[in-house]
Amino acid sequence: MPLTFTNRLIAWQKRAGRHDLPWQKTRDPYRIWLSEIMLQQTQVSTVIPYYQRFLASFPDVQALAAAPIEAVIEHWAGLGYYARARNLHRCAQRVAAEFAGEFPQSAEQLAELPGIGRSTAAAIAAFAFGQRAAILDGNVKRVLCRQFGVEGFPGQAAIHNQLWELAERLLPAGDIEAYTQGLMDLGATLCGRSRPRCADCPVAADCIARRDGRQGELPTARPRPAVPERTASFALIVDDGRLLLERRPPSGLWGGLLVPPEGEVEGTLQRLGLNLIAQRPLPPLKHAFTHFRLTLHPVLCEVERSLTVGEPGLEWIALERAADAGVPAPIRKLIRQVANSRD
């Protein structure tokens, strides 16, 4: 069965898989690496415009390594999972400094670089260097669990190791690029979480989940703990058509991005040395993260004209341009609501 699965998948990918994505038809490890990092936890349709803008500003690994982290974060704003952007920058600097700007060719060496795990390293090695290495991202886990009837939550160590052993066993002797892309294509286009398109699947004939009608049960879901709820207050401080934004610390929530100053209005204005003219609470805004839900409580504040503020990391930005600065997605939505209400 493993050989049948592998051969059918390769044939299907060559015939019906994806062949026109912006990062395909290249052996450039920089472009392949960039796409693989962006595609972690993010759909292709979302990644494409970010990928194209990123390459326009940072065309090679040396350009990215030399760029300030603030510029990298701003190009990433809205893509989410911002640790990826910080690791991307660190990785570029390592490649530039330790490998003279040339990515190492082995999956083992690639996996030692910041932000590149075992599966991502294997994908880069396969697509850039034709190396025979196994991938095991979330989509691939779903395909393998359904195809071979693997029981248990894939995040558990024993199941995770079982899937890696299976992924290694399935590797073809050749056509590693078509096989690797085929796994990605199958998980992304046919074997989705809900409503898998089994009638179009090239390996459906041997799929245990399809045979037993268990597509909705496999892979086994993660045991769900209660999702923590958090709240945060933000002061949207405006002065003569400008909005005050503050850069977050480089690590933690929204690390390196610009946001309105966080905290209760009175204490925030006192900290910044600003005098309040008027304030108005805005409707709460809810945003879901992977491990918790956040409710933002924004307050619109008008202050006396101020040319400077008393702390580093603070910027006055024209309100109509603030949503396009390096701000996280929920803050962008909030700024646009405020800007539209003042038109």
- Render pLDDT for 267-289 as a digit per residue (tens, 0 to 9): 999 988 899 999 999 999 999 99
> Mean pLDDT of all residues in the chain?
94
Q: 239 with 303: CB under 8 angstroms?
A: yes
Q: 289 with 82: CB under 8 angstroms?
A: no
The bridge status of strand 242-247 relative to strand 314-318 is: antiparallel
Place of tokens 């190791």: 161
ω before 219 within 30° of 0 (cis)? Answer: yes
Per-residue pLDDT band for 310 (boundaries 50, 70, 90) equals low
- Render pLDDT for 106-130 as a digit per residue (tens, 0 to 9): 999 999 999 999 999 999 999 999 9
Q: How many CB atoms lie within 10 A of CB 62?
A: 16
Identify whether 177 is a catalytic site residue: no
Place of tokens 């992977």: 290
Cα separation, 141 vs 186, whole angstroms: 11
Give pLDDT, residue 341: 78
Cα separation, 102 vs 99, whole angstroms: 5
Give pLDDT, residue 1: 56
Percent of the chain with pLDDT over 70: 97
- Torsion angles phi and psi, residue 334, rounded to 5: -65, -45
Cα separation, 341 vs 343, whole angstroms: 6
Task: Taking residues 32-36, report their average pLDDT.
Answer: 98
Residue 130, phi-psi category: left (phi > 0), alpha (psi -120 to 50), beta (remainder): left
Task: Taking residues 236-243, report their average pLDDT.
Answer: 92
| Among the listed residues 24, 4, 43, the one whose alpha carbon sits nearest the alpha carbon of residue 139 | 43
Give pLDDT, residue 307: 59
Q: How many CB atoms lie within 10 A of CB 180?
A: 25
Instruction: State the angle between helix axes of 176-185 and 118-129 in degrees (0 to 180), rounded to the nearest 10.
Output: 130
Cα separation, 301 vs 36, whole angstroms: 42
For the chain, which domains are there? 2-212 (1.10.340.30), 229-341 (3.90.79.10)
From 36, 74, 177, 246, active-site residue = 36
CA atoms within 13 A on the CB side of 64: 30
Any idea which of 121-135, 172-186, 198-212, 259-273 has the lowest mean pLDDT?
A: 259-273
pTM of the full structure:
0.74
